[in-house]
């Protein structure tokens, strides 16, 4: 008898069918990754990817020099600055730009002001990072990016991650995941928060009185309350017996009671702070409509609302009330909104000016040239957005209709001399401290190996014989991960990161991840409300394209260059975006072997490199991948019509992955599956891992 099927399990979450295949570059057979994320079986060829510029140029439609998305130097005969600054209120929105002259805003001719050496910054609703901008082949044929429409919809609170219309009144708070709100969305936020401030000094005082609010499991709340009341009663009796006016005096007089008094005071302060948090979250509409929450309890409803608050304000913390989260709740809404404006403007400036250097590039002896910070501050100053009040006034002056197509012009200092249309880039990954030891002891107790030096990815440019670092960001390496073996059981397996020289030959924007059979089935299904009804559907959040996918919003492929007559070797290692920011910034965070970056930094990295290095724009890569799988007695079907939007570096970017500092007694990776503690398995040893010597011998 056939298994039952649900009506939406075969639904593809993006309206792919509405986008015609206007390009089909069958001559370019790019890699289809069939291994686990960051884990292609060892030795698997990377496909028929061109291995040299000649063959690449013959196989693809567009070869371009890296061109930064910023204003060029004024050409001969360009408009004088005085002429370019002449007010042009007669121009339609698509031909004008906003500039401030002597503290006053005016509309000017966009082409003329750019020719005069100003940088045009697109603040309109149609803006995307460079990776998702519209591209054309050499003959003018459009090369549409499937994900561009979704990215714009997310930034403008119109679509959800499945590419479907956002529910009325719902908001996308996606800065943590690399999608910054449009200026139209920021305007709506400023207007609403000015009318409904959600800020009172009493709540501020309660929040500022605590460092954090300790988490108490909901099932332990009543017991903790009883314990606190008991301790308070005992201390009050002791205070009265000692004839002290306050508990503070009692602590001084009787030091043995000081710790208990401090604990009681801390718990009382945290309880009051939690009430202030609930008040702020409710006022800021952070509790989802269908969320169940019990007052005074840090339950799932509270956790989800705190996470929503952190997403809105780009706070990289676990979903608990830690310092940065509590501090943000103590600030006025409009001040937090201003910070969001600065963050969004920074990404627009970085893209328009074609820069990347930030404060991370320096060392103790040689501080970084923070171009990102300098240019962002210059843009804020020239646009008059110097503080919260100025930003609020800006949004009051400019209607939602104006913001839809708004471009502004600013005059930036020239970048350093090593910035050019075609820069000599290289990437280095320092793996930091590496542990190959098992993640549990002989008794099966989980253990975390201490690390004081974490993995880091650095971008360099070689200029006049010198190697200059432009950015250095924390990243991840592989570690012990759960993997489903051929017998259907989950085991631990060490998913390491390759060491040594590699190259990045291709970059995919809006990438997808083809989940291998070793992927735990539980991760391939998700719950979602469809037409008001809860359903289980294929988890395209994990597969992509999308900000939550395994590869995030962009991936660069690390490969070992092939020799003449041999293809590139691809072990499935990528440097890619990721929404799993806790794996990036926690002491216990690891990947499956890839080098993760926050989505916005991965976008910034590859957008910059593609703008400053010769590249081939290959465009959309049709795939037509399907797969069925069984979960909870239901058959689900994955449909993926495209790998994403491909660019090829020409020549490729050199990469070197350093060995790092190997800690512990286990000096080499453990090969194969390791049974999980306290798990019952079938008799006999675990099956061989797909890329183990045993599996290779069996295949032969």
Distance, in Å, from the CA atom of 132 to the CA atom of 63, rounded to the nearest integer, reads: 17
Last residue of a domain, which of 301, 329, 357?
329
Q: Tokens at residue 324, please?
A: 């940065």
Which residues pair with residue 560 across a beta bridge? 569
Report the pLDDT value the prediction gives residue 378, as an integer from 0 to 100.
97
Q: Tokens at residue 273, please?
A: 């702070």
Chain centroid to CA 366: 29
Q: Tokens at residue 687, please?
A: 């099956």
Q: Are residues 382 and 293 in the same domain?
A: no
Distance, in Å, from the CA atom of 208 to the CA atom of 344, rounded to the nearest integer, reads: 28
Q: Are residues 646 and 599 in the same domain?
A: yes
Which CATH number fits the domain that encloses residue 499? 2.40.440.10
Q: Are residues 207 and 284 in the same domain?
A: yes
For residue 91, being part of any structural domain is answered with no
The 10 Å CB-count burial string (b at 16+, else e) for 71-107 is beebeeebbeeeebbeebeeeeeeebbbbeeeeeebb
Q: Tokens at residue 314, please?
A: 């780009």
Sequence-distant (6+) residues with CB within 8 A of 638 are 515, 524, 538, 543, 625, 626, 627, 628, 629
Q: Are residues 279 and 381 in the same domain?
A: no
Report the pLDDT value the prediction gives residue 566, as an integer from 0 to 100.
87
Rounded-to-10 torsion of CA 215, 220, 223, 224: -10
Distances (CA, A) of 195 to 333, 430, 529: 11, 49, 32
For residue 90, being part of any structural domain is answered with no
Count of structural domains, the chain: 3
For residue 45, being part of any structural domain is answered with no
Distance, in Å, from the CA atom of 15 to the CA atom of 150, rounded to the nearest integer, reads: 10
Q: Are residues 122 and 211 in the same domain?
A: no
For residue 60, being part of any structural domain is answered with yes
Q: Are residues 512 and 590 in the same domain?
A: yes
Report the pLDDT value the prediction gives residue 41, as an integer from 0 to 100.
38
Report the pLDDT value the prediction gives residue 519, as an integer from 0 to 100.
80
Q: Are residues 259 and 386 in the same domain?
A: no
Distances (CA, A) of 319 to 304, 322, 333, 349: 8, 8, 20, 31
For residue 665, being part of any structural domain is answered with yes
Q: Are residues 511 and 449 in the same domain?
A: yes
Query: Could you count the other beta carbons within 10 Å of the beta carbon of residue 468?
Result: 15
In the chain, what are the helix, strand and coil shares in percent, each to the nearest 5?
Answer: 30, 25, 45
Q: Tokens at residue 396, please?
A: 């009051």
For residue 437, being part of any structural domain is answered with yes
* Beta-strand runs (E) in 543-687: 554-559, 574-578, 595-598, 615-631, 634-658, 661-663, 673-674
Last residue of a domain, which of 329, 349, 379?
329
Q: What one-character DSSP code corresponds to residue 489?
A: -
Q: Are residues 236 and 310 in the same domain?
A: yes
Q: Are residues 252 and 292 in the same domain?
A: yes
**CA torsion sign, 613 to 594 to 618 to 57?**
positive
SS3 at position 513 = coil
Report the pLDDT value the prediction gives residue 530, as an integer from 0 to 100.
72
Q: Are residues 636 and 488 in the same domain?
A: yes
Report the pLDDT value the prediction gives residue 403, as an integer from 0 to 100.
96
Distances (CA, A) of 504 to 215, 317, 573, 592: 44, 31, 10, 19
Residue 489 is part of which domain span? 16-40+56-66+419-522+547-677
Q: Are residues 463 and 560 in the same domain?
A: yes
Please, are residues 510 and 504 in contact by the beta-carbon 8 Å criterion? no
Last residue of a domain, which of 382, 416, 450?
416
Distance, in Å, from the CA atom of 604 to the CA atom of 370, rounded to the nearest integer, reads: 15
For residue 51, being part of any structural domain is answered with no
Divide the 700 residues of the chain into consecutive groups of 10 and give the mean pLDDT of each group: 32 32 35 45 37 36 47 52 94 96 96 96 97 89 94 96 87 95 97 91 90 86 88 91 90 90 90 93 87 88 92 90 92 97 98 96 86 97 97 96 96 96 97 94 89 96 96 96 89 93 96 83 82 81 89 96 88 94 88 95 97 95 89 88 94 97 94 92 88 55
For residue 699, being part of any structural domain is answered with no
Distance, in Å, from the CA atom of 153 to the CA atom of 175, rounded to the nearest integer, reads: 14
């Amino acid at each position: 008898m056939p298994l039952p099927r649900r009506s939406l399990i075969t639904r593809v979450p993006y309206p792919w069918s509405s986008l015609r295949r206007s390009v089909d570059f069958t001559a370019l057979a790019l890699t289809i990754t069939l291994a686990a994320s960051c884990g292609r079986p060892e030795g698997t060829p990377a496909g028929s990817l061109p291995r040299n510029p000649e063959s690449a140029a013959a196989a693809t439609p567009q070869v371009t020099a890296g061109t930064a998305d910023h204003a060029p130097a004024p050409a001969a005969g360009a408009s004088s600055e005085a002429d370019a600054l002449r007010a042009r209120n007669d121009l339609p929105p698509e031909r004008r730009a906003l500039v401030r002259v002597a503290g006053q805003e005016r509309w000017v001719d966009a082409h003329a002001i750019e020719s005069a050496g100003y940088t045009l910054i697109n603040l309109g609703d149609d803006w995307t990072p460079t990776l998702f901008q519209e591209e054309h082949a050499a003959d003018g044929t459009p090369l549409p990016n499937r994900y561009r429409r979704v990215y714009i919809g997310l930034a403008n609170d119109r679509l959800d991650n499945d590419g479907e219309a956002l529910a009325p009144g719902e908001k996308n708070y996606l800065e943590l995941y690399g999608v910054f709100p449009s200026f139209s969305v920021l305007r709506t936020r400023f207007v609403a928060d000015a009318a409904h401030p959600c800020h009172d000094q009493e709540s501020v005082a309660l929040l500022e009185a605590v460092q954090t609010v300790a988490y108490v499991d909901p099932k332990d709340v009543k017991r903790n309350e009883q314990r606190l009341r008991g301790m308070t009663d005992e201390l009050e009796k002791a205070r009265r017996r000692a004839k002290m006016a306050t508990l503070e005096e009692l602590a001084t007089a009787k030091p043995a009671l000081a710790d208990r008094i401090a604990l009681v005071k801390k718990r009382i302060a945290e309880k009051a702070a939690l009430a202030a948090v609930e008040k702020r979250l409710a006022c800021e509409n952070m509790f989802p409509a269908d969320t169940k929450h019990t007052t005074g309890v840090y339950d799932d409803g509270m956790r989800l609302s705190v996470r929503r608050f952190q997403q809105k304000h780009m706070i990289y913390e676990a979903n608990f009330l830690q310092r940065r989260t509590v501090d943000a709740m103590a600030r006025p809404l409009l001040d937090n909104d201003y910070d969001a404006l600065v963050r969004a403007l920074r990404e627009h400036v970085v893209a328009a000016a074609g820069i990347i250097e930030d404060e991370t590039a320096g060392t103790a002896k040689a501080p970084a040239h923070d171009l990102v910070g300098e240019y962002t501050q210059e843009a804020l100053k020239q646009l008059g957005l110097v503080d919260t009040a100025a930003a609020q006034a800006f949004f009051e002056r400019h209607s939602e209709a104006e913001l839809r197509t708004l471009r502004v012009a600013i005059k930036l200092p020239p970048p350093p001399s090593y910035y050019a249309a075609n820069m000599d880039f290289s990437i280095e990954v320092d793996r930091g401290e590496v542990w190959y030891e098992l993640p549990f002891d002989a008794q099966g107790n989980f253990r975390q190996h201490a690390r004081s030096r974490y993995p880091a990815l650095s971008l360099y440019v070689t200029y006049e014989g010198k190697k200059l670092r432009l950015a250095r960001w924390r990243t991840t390496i592989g570690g012990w991960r759960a993997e489903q073996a051929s017998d259907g059981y989950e085991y631990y397996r060490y998913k390491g990161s390759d060491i040594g020289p590699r190259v990045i030959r291709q970059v995919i924007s809006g990438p997808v991840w083809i989940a291998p059979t070793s992927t735990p089935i539980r991760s391939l299904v998700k719950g979602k409300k469809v037409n008001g009804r809860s359903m289980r559907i294929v988890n395209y959040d994990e597969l992509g394209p999308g900000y939550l996918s395994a590869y995030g919003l962009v991936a660069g492929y690390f490969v070992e260059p092939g020799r003449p007559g041999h293809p590139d070797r691809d072990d499935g290692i990528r440097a890619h975006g990721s929404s799993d920011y806790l794996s990036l910034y926690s002491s216990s965070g690891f990947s499956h072997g890839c080098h993760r970056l926050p989505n916005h930094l991965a976008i910034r990295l590859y957008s910059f490199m593609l703008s400053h290095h010769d590249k081939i724009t290959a465009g959309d890569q049709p795939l037509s991948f399907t797969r069925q799988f069984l979960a909870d007695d239901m058959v689900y079907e994955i449909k993926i019509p495209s790998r994403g939007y491909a660019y090829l570096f020409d020549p490729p970017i050199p990469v070197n992955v350093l060995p790092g500092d190997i800690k512990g007694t286990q000096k080499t990776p453990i090969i194969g599956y390791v049974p999980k503690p306290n798990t019952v398995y079938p008799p006999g040893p675990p099956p061989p891992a797909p890329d183990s010597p045993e599996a290779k011998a069996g295949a032969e």
